[in-house]
Structure 1
Amino acid sequence: MTTLVIAEHDNASLKGATFNTVTAASQCGGEVHVLVAGHNAGPAAEAAAKIAGVTKVLHADAAALEHGLAENVAAQVLAVASNYSHILFAATAGGKNVAPRVAAKLDVAQISDISKVDSPDTFERPIYAGNAIATVQSQDATKVITVRGTGFDAAAATGGSASVEKIDAVADAGKSSFVGSEIAKNDRPDLTAAKIIVSGGRALGSKEKFDEVMTPLADKLGAAIGASRAAVDAGYAPNDLQVGQTGKIVAPQLYIAAGISGAIQHLAGMKDSKVIVAINKDAEAPIFSVADYGLEADLFVAIPELIKAL
C-alpha cells in the first residue's frame, strides 16, 4: 500500500498545502511518494525529497506541465495511478480542478475535503458548513482524496532524504492552453498560510473605512487581511480576501474578527483558528459563540485604541 501526493508548486518551490497533504498521506499507511509535474521544476522536486516521511519523488518535466493545466496534470497522474492505493491532492483550487478528472477516469468516488484519517479506508470530512462530520468508508481499489490543510499539521520541510526519479511526461492533451495570469502584488503573508489574520465585516461600512481601520492593525501585527462574504459582496474588499465556506479556509494562530456577525458560512472558514478574538457592538452576534475572547464595543473606537496599545 503506497500513497501518492500531488505536489502544489510554482516550479521553483513547493506551496504550503503540500506539506499538510504529506501528513495526511503518512496516516494512510505505507510509503509516501510525491509527484512533481512541471517544467524546469528541479528545485521543487529537490524540496519535496527533503520532506520528512517522503520516500520517493516522481519528477515529470515538460513544457505542457509548466502552468498546471488540469487536463495535462490529470493525464500525468493517471499515467502512474495504477501503482498507488491512495492519491491525495490538497483541497485548493488546483487540487479541486485535477482530482475529479482523475477520479472520473479511474471510475471511483472522490473523497473530498478530509480533515482526519481514521484508517486506510475510512476518513472524516466536514459537511453542512462544518456543523457535522461525516465518516466516509471507501472500498474503491484506488482512493482519490482531497485534503483540507487546516485539519493536518504541516510535515517538516527537512529531515527527509527521498530519491528523485525522473519519469516520462505525458503529451500535451491539447484541450486547453495557458494565455496569461494577473497576479495581485501583496507584501502581506498569504491568507491561507498566515499565522495572524485580521478580518473585517460589513459593519465597517465602506471600502475606505475598511482600509482605514484594518490596514493599520494588520501592519502593526504583521498580519494578513481577510474579509467576510458580506464585506466582499459590498465591495469593501477583493474576492481573494474572503474567508468562509465559499472563500478560503484558514486556521491561523490568531484570528481577529472586527465587525463580523458570524454567519455559518464564515464560521466554517475560520473556526479552527487557535485563538479567536471578536470585536462587535452586538452582544448577540453569533461570532461570540466561537470566540476565545470577545469585546462588545464599537470597532471604530476599539481598534484604534488596540493599535495604540500595541
Structure 2
Amino acid sequence: MTSLQQTTHDVERTLAPARVRDVLAAYLALTKPRIIELLLVTTVPPMFLAAGGVPDLRLVLITLLAGGLAAASANVFNCVLDRDIDELMRRTRRRPLPRHQVQTPQAVVFGVLLAVASTAVFLGAVNWLSAVLALGANAFYVFVYTMWLKRRYSQNIVWGGIAGCFPPVIGWTAVTGELAWAPWVLFAVVFFWTPPHTWALAIRYRADYAAAGVPMLPVVRPAPQVTIRILVYTVVTVAVSLALWPIAQTGWVYPLAAAVLGAAFTVEAVRLHLRARSGLLDASLRPMRLFHWSNSYLALLFIAAAVDPLLR
C-alpha cells in the first residue's frame, strides 16, 4: 500500500464514525427530544396518583419507553409534513429534512417503525387501553393538527393541542387499566396550558410564522389581543389545576403547590400583557420569559401531584 493509499484509508476510517454519529443525530433530531421530555413529565406523576404511592417501577419504565416511541413517531411525521415550512423559518430550518440530512422516504419509514414499536410495547407489556389512547393521540396530532388545523386556522393550537393532553390519561390507565375523572382533570390542565405556552413562543417567532404562511394567533392579531387571551387561558389553567384537589382527594401538598405555582404563572402572564399594552412588539415583549416559566410550571405542578400521595 502506498503512502497516499494509507493516508486515504486512515482518513476514511476517521470519518466513518463521524458520519454514523451525524446520521444517528439527525434521526434523533427528527423525534424532537425536548418535546418528548415534557410529554413524559406529564405521564409519570399520574401513575403515582393512580397507585396512591409508588407504582410498579418496571411498569413506569415500560410506559415511558412506549410513550416515548409514540411521541417520537408523531414528531417524525410532523417533521415530514412540515418540511416545506420548516425550510422557511429560521427557528426550524436546521432540522434534518430541510438540511437534507435525512431523505423523506427514510423519515416516513422511521416514523412507521416507531409507531409499530410503541404499539407493540403497549399491547405486550402495558394494556390495550393505553395503546389505543397513544394511537389516538398520534393520529390526532398528525391528521387533525398538522395536516388540517395548523395551516388554516388561528385557533390551530387550541384544538390541535389536544394530542399533547393524552399522556396523563395514558399514565393513569397504564396503572389502573381504566379511566377516571382525575386524569381527565390533568388532561384539561394541559389543554388550557397549551395556548399560553405556544402563543408566547409564536410571539417571539411571529415573523417566522408569517413568512411561512402559518396563521398563528400572534400573526393575525395584535399583541395586546394575544396577551389578554394568554392571560385568560392562564387563569383557567390555574383554576382547573385546583379542581384536582377535591376530585382526586389529594393531601395538602398538591393544592398548596398548585396555588403558589399558579399565582406565579398568572403574574408572569399579567406582566406580558402590560408590556404588550405599552406598545412593545415581538422579542421586545420578552415572551420567552412566559414560555420558559410555563414549562417549569407544568413540570413542577405534575411533580407535586406525584409527591402528594407519597406524603399522605
The TM-score normalised by the length of structure 1 is 0.31
Instruction: Return the structure number with greater strand share.
Output: 1
Give the number of the structure with larger relative contact order, counting CA–CA contacts within 8 Å between residues 6 or more apart: 2
Instruction: Return the structure number with greater helix share.
Output: 2
The TM-score normalised by the length of structure 2 is 0.31
